[in-house]
A and B are shown apart, each in its own frame.
Chain A
Amino acid sequence: MLGALGEELSYNQTPLRTAAERLSRRSAGAARDFLHAACTYMEAGLPPPESWARAAEELRAFEKTDRQELASLAYFLGGSDIEGQRATIGRCLRALEERRHYAVEKRDRLSKVYRTLGVLAGMAAVVAAL
């Protein structure tokens, strides 16, 4: 979603509100829910940064730190020239990517631990049965 938003803002120079509306029609899942919520707030008269931040905070599918990262983007989006927008979205994407990478590593590490624990528990059950 952020990649597509970056393209809309930097290449098409689309205003933030129009870009959010356009992307909400093209997205699916959590991204669609988030953009739809942001557009609803904008339609209700809230400025785009506040709308974006509120919608990000309501995004329960994300962890708190990810929600905060997305919400912090609100106050930089649309506040600078094309190069600035590209840099801002790039920075946010990198931060979210790092967090995703860390989460995957953590999951793999934990899954190994659980697998070992499972094997040990199995063996303990067999020993106990004997």
Chain B
Amino acid sequence: MANIAAFEQAIGRLYQPLRSALMRLPGPVKAGATEVRLRLGGPVSLTLRGRPAFVTESGRVVYTPTEGCLIAGDQALYESFRALCEYSVHSHQRAIAQGFIPLPGGHRAGVAGAAVVEQGVVSNVRDIAGINLRIARALPGCGGEVAGAFAAIKGSIMLAGPPGSGKTTLLRETVRLLSSGQVGEHHLITVVDERCEIGGSLSGRPQFDLGCCTDLLSGYPKAAGVLTALRVLSPQVIALDEIGDAAECAALSEGLNSGVRFIVTVHAGSREELSRRPVGRALLGTGAFERIFLLSGPENPGRIKEVITPHEAAYQDPRADLALLQLRSVRRGPIGHTVQSRRQS
């Protein structure tokens, strides 16, 4: 029921004819959809268990676009865009330049269009050609394992997974459990929420419960947010979503050298991808991450596929590619079985 309500809330500002057709979808489809995509002149689609599905005007779902599919025309896209911005594009200008519009309930609309670049920086997006409505949903209890591991170790934790695998949801739930003292003692946590996705802050109000001991820095660039947190909020733990560049890694190192622990998420679909990405190598090179939780993928959001414990030797040469991740792992079988495997480096 909660997921159906989340779906209906997320589509609440769409152009009325689109909204009506989407509201007619069956309950299980509403509950399972993680995204609604509008592309100019194209069929309206949903993401269901990681697969695209198309919506017909009568509110049915088909897996191949056919006649009778709901089409996102010029007016539908323009009116949806304006309504998603509360008819106040100017108020969302900074977020739009970053490619998204935050919505009530922690949902988010990704915006595709033509970039307006000023002095090398994207200052705006014009000619909106697509909207990707990402439906935020809670997965209660999904953070228990990560929070438990965090409470049991002294170091930091990384959550890695491909897009749509539920990294942010898992991070949010882990923060809530640790901050509210549901796993061990209360942790003083600062969440640096650059894209307002973790706390879903809207007009200064978080849309998600992050626990009673969490400070939320909304809209701060991650590097600046980490430094601000260190200077003024004295956190024990800093949570960051989607570490992506060298400046963010440098700020994280600054925090680590100040005695703060981190919970971070990184885009990486496998241990190989993680080790190949410069940001993955840089993070592992800090030597701070005692556990890496690899998520399974968009078909099972929030589910942990593998838990990796970086080998000490991995930290000695952060450029050593796969050698970095010749790690001891606990791999998961399909139905609750766990398989311990020890790899030789």
Contacts and interface: CB of A to CB of B under 8 A. Distances in A.
Interface stretch (B81-89, B217-225, B234-242, B321-329): B81-89
Interface in B297-330: none
A81 interface: yes
A42 B43 CA distance: 31
Contacts of B344: none
Interface size grouping (class) on chain B: 10 to 19
B87 A81 contact: no
Contact of A14 (B85, B89, B91, B93): B91
A49 B85 CA distance: 13
Contacts of B85: 78
B207 interface: no
Given A78-B82, A79-B82, A81-B124, A13 B87 contact: no
B90 interface: yes
A47 B88 CA distance: 11
Contact of B89 (A47, A49, A79): A79
A3 B87 CA distance: 19
B88 A80 contact: no
Given A47-B83, A78-B82, A15 B93 contact: no
Interface residues of A, number: 18
A85 interface: yes
Interface string A50-90: 00000000000000000000000000011111101100000
A48 B90 contact: no
Nearest to A74: B87
A19 B82 CA distance: 17
Interface in B136-151: none
Contacts of B88: 9, 14-17, 48, 78
B86 A13 contact: no
B14 to A, nearest CB: 13
Nearest to B83: A47
Contacts of A13: 90-91, 93
A47 B83 CA distance: 8
Interface string A114-129: 0000000000000000
Q: Binding site of B, secondary structure by majority: helix, strand, loop or mixed? A: helix
Interface in B117-145: 124
A77 B90 CA distance: 9
Nearest to A77: B87
B91 A15 contact: yes
A17 B203 CA distance: 13
Given A78-B82, A79-B82, A81-B124, A16 B93 contact: no
A10 interface: yes
Contacts of A17: 86-88
A60 B93 CA distance: 35
Interface string A1-14: 00000000110011
A78 B86 CA distance: 8
Contacts of B90: 9-10, 13, 78, 80-82, 84-85
A14 B91 CA distance: 6
A16, A17, A84, most chain B CB atoms within 10 A: A16
A43 to B, nearest CB: 14
Nearest to B85: A78
A17 B83 CA distance: 12
Nearest to B123: A81
22 contacts: A9-B88, A9-B90, A10-B90, A14-B88, A14-B91, A15-B86, A15-B88, A15-B91, A16-B86, A16-B87, A17-B86, A17-B88, A48-B86, A77-B87, A78-B86, A78-B88, A78-B90, A79-B89, A82-B90, A84-B89, A84-B90, A85-B90
Interface of B: 82-83, 85-91, 93, 124
Given A14-B91, A47-B87, 11 more contacts: A9-B90, A13-B91, A15-B87, A16-B86, A17-B88, A47-B83, A78-B86, A78-B87, A78-B90, A79-B87, A82-B90
Interface of A: 9-10, 13-17, 47-49, 77-82, 84-85
Complex A-B, nearest 5 residue pairs according to Cβ-Cβ distance, in ascending order: A15-B88, A78-B87, A48-B87, A78-B88, A15-B91
